[in-house]
Amino acid sequence: ENRPIPEPGPNEVLLRMHSVGICGSDVHYWQHGRIGDFVVKDPMVLGHEASGTVIKVGSGVTHLKPGDRVAIEPGVPREVDEFCKTGRYNLSPTIFFCATPPDNGNLCRYYKHSASYCYKLPDNVTFEEGALIEPLSVGIHACKRAGVTLGSKVFVSGSGPIGLVNVIVAKMMGAAAVVVTDLSASRLQKAKEVGADFTIQVKNETPKEVASKVESVLGCMPEITVECTGVQACIQTGIYATRSGGTLVLVGLGPEMVTVPIVNAAVREVDIRGIFRYCNTWPVAIALLASKRINVKPLVTHRFPLEKALEAFETTKRGEGVKVMLKCDPTDQSP
């Protein structure tokens, strides 16, 4: 609150922030101070799912002007390296990324960011939808890596925010049937709401038993599995469930070392792919939102003003609802 308002550089814009979603990674940094090799060593501003209004532009910025409403892509390459040249800038080792140590995030009143990674929102796309483009991008990137196409049968493991965006995107990309598993009945109900064809509530079944249930409800083994939990048993289930010659995409992050039936995957030619964040997804997401081909509004279940950020984080930590959204602009009176 007491930090000075930053001045944008030549290729930056200054934003008055509007909507910022809370991600599981934000909560993890808050509670544990690290995720893998990313360690919080100094005070850090959280927040990387965000939208806001441009209030000042740098001297070199021509595509944005004060008053423009924008969605913010949080990952900005610091140099044009081999990954940027091949279009996979998310893999650049020197990338700046909001709320990943030591880089500050954008859960604040005013924030400056690279203008090239701020995308103008059409009038019919809300600030909240703009903030939801970040998690939505994970779904777009994962489903592209998975090769979802017309008629695909897809198994999504986990019905948290990332599982749900994968359901939305898989259906948009032409999946004929999507089955979702989770421990929570309420989260599975939300999966139904956003387009899942089948849901399975997991209790204490073995990975092979869950895989068998997936095959039973789909009427076949899925060609594609998108694993969104990072839980060892769920990764095992993903391997057992995926059809021979199919693809398993690992989205959820768990422990560094996990025990999996790798020979089962190898002899059945199940391709195992990872994803790291996303790249080149904001224009796609904005086009989908503007055309009303997808609806992400049901994902937001809680809203708090910035002054109640701690309460918002506690709500997310307890696992209540789906997506908790913070409103940073006190002058805005919209619901």
Assigned token pair, 12: 């930056």
- Give the domains, in start order, of the chain with CATH numbers: 12-120+296-327 (3.90.180.10), 141-274 (3.40.50.720)
Q: Which pLDDT belongs to residue 321?
A: 86
Residue range 85-109: mean pLDDT, rounded: 96
What proportion of the chain, given as a percentage, has pLDDT over 70?
99
Mean pLDDT of 277-294: 98
* 329, pLDDT greater than 90: no
Question: Mean pLDDT, to the nearest integer, of 89-105?
Answer: 97
Query: What radius of gyration, in Å, describes the C-alpha atoms of the chain?
Result: 20
Confidence of residue 292 (pLDDT cuts 50, 70, 90): very high
Question: Cα(212)–Cα(70) distance, rounded to whole angstroms?
Answer: 45
CA dihedral of residues 169, 297, 316, 16 (deg, nearest 10) = 110
Distance from C-alpha of 178 to C-alpha of 159, rounded to nearest angstrom: 12
User: Given a cut of 80, is residue 307 above it in pLDDT?
Assistant: yes
pLDDT reading at 2 higher than 90: no
Percentage above 90 pLDDT, the chain? 95
Query: Angle between the 127-146 and 282-290 helix axes, to the nearest 10 degrees?
Result: 120
- In this prediction, residues 266-280 reach a mean pLDDT of 98
DSSP summary character for residue 37 = T
Residues 6+ apart with CB under 8 A from 85: none
State how far the Cα of 150 lies from the Cα of 172, in Å rounded to an integer.
9
Q: Which tokens sit at 197?
A: 């064809």
Q: Phi first, then psi: what are they for 228, rounded to 5°?
A: -115, 15
pLDDT, average across residues 96-125 = 97
Burial bucket for residue 329 (CB in 10 Å: 0-12, 13-18, 19+): middle
Q: How confident is the model at residue 36 (pLDDT cuts 50, 70, 90)?
A: confident
Predicted pLDDT of residue 3: 73
**Is pLDDT of 331 > 80?**
no
Q: Which of 279, 263, 171 shows the shortest CA–CA distance to 226?
A: 171
Average pLDDT across the chain, whole number: 96
Place of tokens 């599982």: 163
Q: Which helix (H) or strand (E) holds 186?
A: helix 185-193
Residue range 246-261, pLDDT digits in tens: 999 999 999 999 999 9
Do residues 269 and 245 touch, judged by C-beta distance below 8 A?
yes
Q: Which pTM was predicted?
A: 0.96
Query: What does DSSP say about strands 12-21 and 49-57: parallel, antiparallel, or unpaired?
Result: antiparallel
